[in-house]
Amino acid sequence: MGDGLARFPTARHLGGYASTAPLTWSSGTSHTVVHRKVCNRALKRTVHQWAFSALTRSPGCRAL
């Protein structure tokens, strides 16, 4: 992310870039949600670490 903080205005945008967001396929009447296999592994690992540390260290996150 570096200096370009406006590059990802929301957490959803960052999750999409890191490929942590689910992938939705729709065609006609079928609707499938799958986990992405191809991703930026370093960024995915970092996002996972942020979530883990927030859940284990922040009383507010733990309560939510």
User: pTM, whole model, 2 decimals?
Assistant: 0.42
Return the SS3 of 34.
Answer: strand
Domains of the chain, residue spans: 5-63
User: How far is residue 6's CA from residue 8's CA, in Å, rounded to a whole number?
Assistant: 5
Q: What is the pLDDT of residues 4-60, one digit of tens each?
A: 778 888 877 877 777 667 777 788 888 888 776 667 778 778 878 888 888 888 888
User: How far is residue 12's CA from residue 51's CA, in Å, rounded to a whole number?
Assistant: 14
